[in-house]
C-alpha cells in the first residue's frame, strides 16, 4: 500500500530538511527521505553540511585554533601554557558529538513539525494521474505517492580522473575530517574553500601542508586586494601554496602518496605526502534517483535543470541546493528550500542571489557579499572604494587580532553599496550587516551614519563606509 503525501522531499540536507519544515508550517502533509547513515547505521539527517561539511569542519577549525593559540598567542596575554599536548582522539570525538547534536536536532524538528521521516534511498517510480510515485529502499521498503516532490540530493566531492578517493591516503572532505593521526606531510590539491579550511586545520595541528592549485591566481572569486592579503597571511602562517601547477601522475604507496606535477615555471616536480586531500570542487548527486522514470532533465554537467523558480522539467517536481545551478552553499540551499515550499503554497518565495554571502573560515576569516572590484571594472561600473584596517580598530587590538580590513564598494553616483569584502576577525558575523544593508539597497552613507557599539569590530565596517567618502575618523 502506498502512503500519500502532499509534499515529498528527497534529501535531508539544509536544502531538503528546511524545505520540509517550511512546507509543514504551511499546512501540507510532508515526508522527507534521507539515506545518510551514522556509524551505527542509524539515520543522520543534515546531509553533507551536518555530517562531513560545514559543521564538523567548523568544529575542527575551532579546536585547532584553540590549540594554536594555546601554543603561542596566549603568551602575549600573559598566560603561560606549559606541557601543551594534542589529544587528537578527543578533538575528533568532540567533533562527532557536535555532528550528532545536529543530527538529533533535525530528527526532533521533523517530529515537532509532524514530518514523516524515511531512512533510505528515494527513487522515482512513475508519474501519472494518481501523482508521483517514489520508492524508498532502506531497512524497510516503502512506496509513496506525492502531489509535489522537492529534490535536494546535494553533491559529492569531485575526484581527479584516475585517482579515486580511498579515504585512507587519497582523501575527500570525508577523510580530511577524520585523519586519525596528524600527518607529517599533508598534500592538498585545490586551493579553494575546502583546501584552505582543511589545510589550516591540519597545519595548526602540526602538519607541513603543501597546497597545489591549478590556476595562476589565488582565490579568483575573491576581491583581488583581499585575496592578495589572504595569500600573504596564509603563506606567513606556513601554508605552502603553489599556484599555476599542472597535476600529473599520482601514485599511492603503502605509507605515502607521490604527486608528480609541473610547476608554474614549467619545471617537473615530485612531492611525497603522508596523506593527500583532493578538493577540486563538487559534482551534483543524482545517483540512484531514477530520473529517467519521470523524464526529469539533467544538464550536461549532471545538475537537475531548473528555472529561476527551482521548477524542474517535470510539473510539480522542484529541485534546490547543490544539485542545481548556483553557489554550493548551505544557506543558499536553505533559502531555495523555503522559497520552493512557499511557491508550492501559491506564495511568492524569493531568493536574492546578489546578496548571498560567502565565508571562508580560515584565520583570519574572509567574507564577502555582492560584487568585487575586478567584476565592477570588467562591467564598466563607476564605483568608489573605501577600506579600513583592523589595525586601527580598538577592539581588534584588545583581541590581539589586527590582521585584515573591511572594504566597501559603492556606486560612484548613487552611493548604493555594490559589494562589501572583509578579511579579519569574525568576518563571518560582520558580513551580515552588509547583507542586510544591500537587501535594503542602502548607501555607504547609510552605514556611515548608523551608531555602532564601541569598542566593537563592527566599527571597522562603519569606518570603511565613511572611507568611501574619505571621511574615516580613526585612520
Q: Which residues of this chain interact with ligand NAI, rule CB under 6 A?
A: 160, 189-195, 197, 212-215, 247, 279-282, 327-329, 359-361
How deeply is 104 buried, as exposed, middle or buried, from its count of CB atoms within 10 A (0-12, 13-18, 19+)? middle
Task: Report the nearest approach of ligand FAD to the CB of residue 297 (Å).
Answer: 17
Identify whether the C-beta of residue 250 lies closer than 8 Å to the C-beta of residue 259.
yes
Q: Is residue 195 part of the contact set for ligand FAD (CB under 6 A)?
A: no
Rounded-to-integer distance, Cα 411 and Cα 394, Å:
29
Alpha-carbon distances, residue 109 vs 34, 124, 162 (angstroms): 14, 26, 42
The 8-class DSSP code of residue 2 comes to P
Omega of the bond prior to 390 within 30 degrees of 0, cis? Answer: no
- Three-state secondary structure of 390-420: HHHCHHHHHHCCCCCEEEEEEECCCCEEEEE
Provide the minimum distance between the beta carbon of 361 and ligand FAD in the complex, in angstroms, as a whole number.
6
Q: Does 199 bind ligand FAD (CB under 6 A)?
A: no
Which of ligand NAI, ligand FAD, none does 191 bind, CB closer than 5 to 8 A by kind?
ligand NAI
**Helical ranges in 205-322 per DSSP H:** 224-237
Residue 289 interacts with ligand FAD (CB under 6 A)? yes
Q: Using CB under 6 A, pick the residue from 57, 63, 163, 458 that binds ligand FAD.
A: 57
Gap between the Cα atoms of 275 and 210, Å rounded? 11
Task: CB nearer to ligand FAD: give 150 or 465.
Answer: 150
| Catalytic residue flag (residue 454) | yes
Residue 19 interacts with ligand FAD (CB under 6 A): yes or no: no
Which of ligand NAI, ligand FAD, none does residue 153 bind (CB under 5 to 8 Å by kind)?
ligand FAD
34 binds, among ligand FAD, ligand NAI, none (CB under 5 to 8 A by kind): ligand FAD
Q: Which is nearer to ligand NAI, 134 or 171 (CB)?
A: 171
Cell of 196: 584552505
Please choose which of ligand NAI, ligand FAD, none residue 49 contacts, taking the beta carbon within 5 to 8 angstroms, the exact cut-off set by kind: ligand FAD
- Please choose, from the candidates 135, 156, 138, 126, the residue with its C-alpha nearest in 3D space to the C-alpha of residue 47: 156
Choose, from 72, 77, 350, 454, the residue flagged as catalytic. 454
Of 22, 95, 121, 421, the residue at the interface with ligand FAD (CB under 6 A) is 121
Binding to ligand FAD by residue 386, rule CB under 6 A? Answer: no
Choosing from 285, 362, 403, 458, the residue that interacts with ligand FAD (CB under 6 A) is 285
**Minimum distance from residue 74 beta carbon to ligand NAI (Å):** 26
Taking the complex as a whole, the smallest distance from the CB of residue 318 to ligand FAD amounts, in Å, to: 12
What is the nearest approach in angstroms of ligand NAI to the Cβ of residue 442? 24
CA–CA distance, 51 with 462 (Å, rounded to integer): 37
Least distance to ligand FAD, CB of residue 47, Å: 2
Q: Read out DSSP for 68-137?
A: HIIIIIHHHTT----S----HHHHHHHHHHHHHHHHHHHHHHHHHTTPEEEEEEEEEEEEETTEEEEEEE
Interface with ligand FAD (CB under 6 A): 10-16, 33-36, 47-49, 53-54, 57, 121-122, 152-155, 173, 194, 285, 288-289, 321-323, 328-331, 333, 361
Q: Among all residues, which ones are annotated catalytic?
A: 454
Amino acid at each position: 500500500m502506498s502512503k500519500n503525501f502532499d509534499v515529498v522531499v528527497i534529501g535531508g540536507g539544509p536544502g531538503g530538511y528546511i524545505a520540509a519544515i517550511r512546507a509543514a508550517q504551511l499546512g501540507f502533509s510532508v515526508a522527507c527521505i534521507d539515506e545518510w547513515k551514522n556509524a551505527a547505521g542509524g539515520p543522520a539527517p543534515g546531509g553533507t553540511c551536518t555530517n562531513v561539511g560545514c559543521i564538523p569542519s567548523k568544529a575542527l577549525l575551532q579546536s585547532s585554533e584553540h590549540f594554536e593559540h594555546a601554543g603561542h598567542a596566549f603568551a602575549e596575554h600573559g598566560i603561560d601554557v606549559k606541557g601543551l599536548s594534542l589529544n587528537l582522539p578527543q578533538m575528533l570525538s568532540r567533533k562527532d558529538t557536535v555532528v550528532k547534536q545536529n543530527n538529533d536536532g533535525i530528527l526532533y524538528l521533523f517530529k515537532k513539525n509532524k514530518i514523516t521521516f524515511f531512512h533510505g534511498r528515494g527513487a522515482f517510480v512513475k508519474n501519472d494521474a494518481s501523482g508521483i510515485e517514489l520508492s524508498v529502499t532502506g531497512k524497510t521498503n516503502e512506496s509513496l505517492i506525492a502531489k509535489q516532490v522537492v529534490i535536494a540530493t546535494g553533491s559529492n566531492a569531485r575526484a581527479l580522473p584516475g585517482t579515486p578517493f580511498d579515504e585512507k591516503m587519497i582523501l575527500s572532505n570525508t577523510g580530511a575530517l577524520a585523519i586519525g593521526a596528524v600527518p607529517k606531510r599533508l598534500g592538498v590539491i585545490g586551493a579553494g574553500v575546502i583546501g584552505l579550511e582543511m589545510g589550516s586545520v591540519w597545519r595548526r595541528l602540526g602538519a607541513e601542508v603543501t597546497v597545489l592549485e591549478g590556476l595562476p591566481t589565488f582565490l579568483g572569486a575573491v576581491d583581488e586586494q583581499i585575496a592578495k592579503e589572504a595569500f600573504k597571511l596564509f603563506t606567513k602562517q606556513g601554508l605552502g601554496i603553489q599556484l599555476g601547477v599542472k597535476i600529473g601522475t599520482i601514485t599511492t604507496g603503502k605509507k605515502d602518496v607521490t604527486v608528480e606535477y609541473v610547476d608554474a615555471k614549467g619545471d617537473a616536480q615530485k612531492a611525497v605526502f603522508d596523506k593527500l586531500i583532493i578538493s577540486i570542487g563538487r559534482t551534483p548527486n543524482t545517483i540512484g534517483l531514477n530520473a529517467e522514470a519521470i523524464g526529469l532533465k539533467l544538464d550536461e554537467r549532471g545538475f537537475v535543470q531548473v528555472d529561476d523558480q527551482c521548477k524542474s522539467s517535470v510539473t510539480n517536481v522542484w529541485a534546490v541546493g547543490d544539485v542545481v545551478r548556483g553557489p554550493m552553499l548551505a544557506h543558499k540551499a536553505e533559502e531555495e528550500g523555503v522559497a520552493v515550499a512557499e511557491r508550492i503554497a501559491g506564495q511568492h518565495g524569493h531568493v536574492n542571489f546578489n546578496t548571498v554571502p560567502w565565508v571562508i573560515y580560515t584565520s583570519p576569516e574572509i567574507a564577502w557579499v555582492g560584487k568585487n572590484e575586478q567584476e565592477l571594472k570588467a562591467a564598466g561600473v563607476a564605483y568608489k572604494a573605501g577600506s579600513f584596517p583592523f589595525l586601527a580598530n580598538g577592539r581588534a587590538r584588545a583581541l590581539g587580532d589586527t590582521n585584515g580590513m573591511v572594504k566597501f564598494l559603492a556606486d560612484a553616483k548613487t552611493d548604493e553599496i555594490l559589494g562589501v569584502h572583509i578579511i579579519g576577525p569574525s568576518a563571518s558575523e560582520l558580513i551580515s550587516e552588509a547583507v542586510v544593508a544591500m537587501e535594503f539597497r542602502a548607501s555607504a552613507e547609510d552605514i556611515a551614519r548608523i551608531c555602532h557599539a564601541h569598542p566593537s569590530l563592527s566599527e571597522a565596517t562603519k569606518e570603511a563606509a565613511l572611507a568611501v567618502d574619505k571621511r574615516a575618523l580613526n585612520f
